[in-house]
Amino acid sequence: MTNQAKSYAHLYSDEANARKPSPLKTCIHYFNDPNIVFLGGGLPMSTYFPWQSISAVSPKAPFVNGIGAPCTSSEDSIEYTIPKNISDTKGKDVIALERCLQYGFSQGQTPFLDFVREHTKIVHQMGKYEDWDVLATTGNTGAWESTLRVFCNRGDTILAEAHSFSSSIAAAEAQGINTFPVPMDNEGIIPEKLSEILDNWTEGVPKPKLLYTIPTGQNPTGSSLSVERKVAIYELAKKHDFIIIEDEPYYFLQTGEYVPADKRAPVTKAASHKEFLDNLSTSFISLDTEGRVIRMDSFSKVLAPGTRLGWLVGAKSILNTYLKFHEMSIQAPAGFTQTLVSETLHQWGQDGYLDWLIGLRYEYTLKRDFCIDSLKKHLPLDLMCKSDPTKPVIAINPPNAGMFFIVTVEAAEHPEFETKFGKDTKKVEEHVYEQIIANGALMAPGMWFECHYDGETEKNGKSVDTQVFFRGTFAAVPLEKLDLGISRVGDALRKEFAS
């Protein structure tokens, strides 16, 4: 295997190109030179760091009573301590406080990077090109912000799923970057449509540098891209020379296909790590032969959002460009979060972490199933369109992954579509949103997640139909509350469309 990542310097932003190496970095190799007294850097002495040690209690792998079981004894929990001094760490993988609380290591602490690099190898069978690496981030929100700064200038255009995570879209738009909506269906981006968009790109308008995609359990639609579509999209990236940014916070929440209650076997955990790994969807990063995919991985949905810790996977040369930006912005994720998360992972080991992920998938599968059962029970899914009796007014698309589901609604079927709403789909959407709230539940309307593009090629990407949708989550509420909420949504929809 001798493939090397290509160079993508021509896609960098003006800002990234202007970042010079810090002059202080040019002398940093003298820092550990025993022949030099280093008076160059402003590092405080760790003698004055006011933490002697920190400790934590965590569940013990393989989490036989479930990942949410309380920690009651040494049977089901582990306790570990991180000392201040490197000389007091017994294992090489412990990040001592004098190390993680000091300046330096903007790329992330070595034991943390070692763990996620190995994990990435195991999960994505990395190796289609040689010079890949990982880089610590403060989570995917920050990683996306960095991505925009690394690649985009004001006025640039990026591609994104026509409905996408509102905060990611808003971050781009605030920077003056256009977000071009790529048409989707129930399975996510439609490669043929993307191909058409790019083939017919308006001459004179710079082509998109990036495709931003959430391939698994997409936010907000809950859709997941098949490997066939990913391959097709990757080929388009090569042909039209753009970078694919895969934002994958929900990757391990692959609950699989929904099977109706009366036909499904009891949910079980994976029989083995191999079975678990084999059933994970093929990622863009694992298809990548020339280093044009950047994967954003996060602990927010698998450990906790407040860790504010994640990592990028991609070509070393691109990650170095991020690193130069991080040195002047985040510097590095906080030392406490790096040492605690890293130590938890090292205590569990790679196998233990897979056990955790298997346990998590199990919990989400139960919730997803319960949620879809509840939607089928409470929503008027048998209500058919007056304009086309084969087409339901209200529909669901059971997700295979993630924490979100959507309820689609044919706005034109609202009895007052013409009279009260003047055929304005958006007005129906807003009205239904308010009626659901009035009925005691809240779902997020699809319009909150729209990409915008004001350029000439808008027509290529814009949906013109009258379908609207509402996003819900089954992750955040206990089951009985979920059922109550969904029944209220059902009542509201029935009141609006079936009366």
Residues 290-319 that bind its own copies (CB under 8 A): 300-301, 303-309
Contacts of 327 (CB under 8 A, 6+ apart): 22, 106
Q: Which residue(s) pair with 212 in the sheet?
A: 160, 245
Residues 200-229 that bind its own copies (CB under 8 A): 219
Among the listed ranges 115-123, 169-177, 187-195, 260-268, the one in contact with its own copies (CB under 8 A) is 169-177
52 binds its own copies (CB under 8 A): yes
481 binds its own copies (CB under 8 A): yes
Residues 404-433 that bind its own copies (CB under 8 A): 404
Residue from 187, 281, 282, 336 binding its own copies (CB under 8 A):
336
Residues 230-289 that bind its own copies (CB under 8 A): none
Nearer to its own copies, 44 or 206 (CB): 44
441 binds its own copies (CB under 8 A): yes
Nearer to its own copies, 201 or 311 (CB): 311
Minimum Å gap between C-beta 491 and its own copies is: 12
188 binds its own copies (CB under 8 A): no
Contact 296, 248 (CB under 8 A): yes
494 binds its own copies (CB under 8 A): no
45 binds its own copies (CB under 8 A): yes
251-to-125, 132, 147, 369 alpha-carbon distances in Å: 15, 20, 20, 18
320 binds its own copies (CB under 8 A): no
Minimum Å gap between C-beta 494 and its own copies is: 17
331 binds its own copies (CB under 8 A): yes
Residues 448-467 that bind its own copies (CB under 8 A): 448
Q: What is the DSSP string of 198-214?
A: HHTPPTTSPPPSEEEE-
Radius of gyration of the chain, Cα coordinates, nearest whole angstrom: 25
Matching residue, tokens 């539940």: 441
Q: Helix or strand or coil: residue 343?
A: helix
Residues 345-384 that bind its own copies (CB under 8 A): 356, 360, 363
Residue from 5, 11, 101, 379 binding its own copies (CB under 8 A):
101
Minimum Å gap between C-beta 231 and its own copies is: 29
As a dihedral over the C-alpha atoms of residue 451, residue 452, residue 453, residue 457, rounded to 10 degrees, the angle is: 60
68 binds its own copies (CB under 8 A): yes
Q: What is the DSSP string of 52-79?
A: SEEEEEEEPTT-TT-TTS---STTTEEE
Contact 169, 211 (CB under 8 A): no
462-to-150, 196, 224, 465 alpha-carbon distances in Å: 28, 13, 21, 9
372-384 burial, b at 16+ Cβ within 10 Å, e below that, comes to bbbbeebbbbebe
Minimum Å gap between C-beta 363 and its own copies is: 7
Residue from 2, 32, 37, 75 binding its own copies (CB under 8 A):
37
70 binds its own copies (CB under 8 A): yes
469 binds its own copies (CB under 8 A): no
Among the listed ranges 45-53, 124-132, 223-231, 382-390, the one in contact with its own copies (CB under 8 A) is 45-53
Q: What is the DSSP string of 289-337?
A: SSS-EEEEEESTTTT-GGG--EEEEEEHHHHHHHHHHHTTTT-SS-HHH
Nearer to its own copies, 139 or 291 (CB): 139
Angle at 383 between CA 379 and CA 389, to 5 degrees: 150
Question: Environment class of residue 37 by beta-carbon count within 10 Å: exposed (0-12), middle (13-18) or buried (19+)?
Answer: exposed
